[in-house]
Amino acid sequence: MRKLPQTSLRFTTLAMTMLGVAALGTGSAAAAGPNISFLPHQALYELSLMKTRNNASVSTVRGRILYNFSGNACEGYTSDFRQVSEIESGEGKNTLSDLRSSSWEDAAGKSYRFKIDTKMNDSDSSDVDGVAERTGDAITVKLKQPVQKTFTLDGKTVFPTEQIERIIAAARDRKSLLELQVYDGSDGGEKVYNTLTVIGQPIPGDRSVTNPDPSTGEASMKSLTRWPVTVSYYDRSAKSDTGEQTPVYAMSFELYENGVSRSLVLDYNDFVLAGAMGKLDVKAMKPCK
């Protein structure tokens, strides 16, 4: 069975419930849009199998995602993410994957620290540990694990927080498409993804939903707009003979303007998972000093 991608995060650390800032800093993120205010919170999602493709040997998937965000525009943003998934094949074989990641990102998009731990079944964990610093028109990445290495990225590349900031800013501007290069430290810490975000029509916060969850039941969320969003991740190093490239994976969700996400769909090509929000804990805002 194919190894699950080390996403995102994300959720990329785009991944799921995304983070935010009370006031944007002065870096490239500041140009994204006016005063995007995000909600510190913890959210739990229950994973289940929606469908399979390409005769994939997947019969059942169970799992959870727990996402925790804290911080502010002065101190930066800290996020902790864990995804545990158990996949059963039709042959009676089970695969248990456990992904944990912790990251800190400067509000201006100038600095990003990350640690990612991935484990499959009883194998040894695969660790990634590093820091990325934006200087001028380039980003310098220094890895501690899996190997000590220093390399440079295109300065147009964005980190996960800025990715979400730009998606929300584009949605407010009624844009339907957004292309970004994103680096989150996943896949050994050396990969940059090309991403294409498709943004749908705004949804009023008080509109009734077929499958309510803690976000739609939260009184403070009913005044907020949300948008249906699909983000596809492409391998920048892969080449296509036909000119059309298949995404490595895609993530769909409804994104509130305060950064909370609901109604997740994780598409790994061979199979698709649904992520229903089971719990949402709102944290107190910590103002800048």
DSSP string, 27-82: SGGGGS-S------EEEEEEEEEEEE-TT----EEEEEEEEEEEEETTTEEEEEEE
Q: Compute CA distances 14 → 89, 124, 144, whole Å.
A: 28, 26, 23
Q: What is the mean pLDDT of residues 149-174?
A: 94
CA nearest 278: which of 10, 15, 16, 7? 16
Q: How many residues does the chain have?
A: 289
Among 231, 224, 171, which residue's Cα sits nearest to residue 201? 171
pLDDT, mean of residues 75-85: 91
Phi, psi values for residue 214, rounded to 5°: -60, -25
pLDDT above 90 covers what percent of the chain?
Answer: 55
Return the SS3 of 188: helix
Greatest extent of the chain over all pairs of C-alpha atoms, in Å: 58
The first and second tokens of residue 133, run together, are 């610093």
Query: What integer is the mean pLDDT of 21-37?
Result: 39
Poorest-pLDDT segment among 56-60, 158-162, 251-255: 56-60
- Among 44, 45, 102, smallest CA distance to 76 is for 102
Taking the complete model, does pTM exceed 0.75, yes or no? yes
- Check residue 8 and give its pLDDT: 34
Over residues 62-88, mean pLDDT: 90
Residue 239 has pLDDT above 90, yes or no: no
Q: Say which DSSP state 187 is in.
A: G
Whether the pLDDT of residue 21 is over 50: the answer is no
Lowest model confidence (mean pLDDT) among 21-25, 114-118, 262-266, 268-272: 21-25
Round to whole Å and give the CA distance between 27 and 178.
19
Which three-class secondary structure state does DSSP give residue 161? helix
Is the pLDDT assigned to residue 46 strictly greater than 60?
A: yes
CA 243 to chain centre: 27
Can you tell me the mean pLDDT for 253-260? 91
First-last CA distance in the chain:
50
Residue 13 vs residue 103, higher pLDDT:
103
Can you tell me the distance from the alpha carbon of 272 to that of 274, in angstroms, rounded to the nearest whole number? 7
Higher pLDDT, 5 or 214: 214
User: pLDDT tens-digit profile of 89-148?
Assistant: 877 788 899 999 999 999 888 999 999 999 888 787 789 999 999 998 999 999 999 999
- Contact present, 84 and 63 (Cβ < 8 Å): yes
Average pLDDT, the chain: 84
Quick one: average pLDDT of 179-189? 92
Between 71 and 204, residue with greater pLDDT: 204
What DSSP assignment string belongs to 214-245? HHHH-GGGTT--EEEEEEEEEETT---SSS--
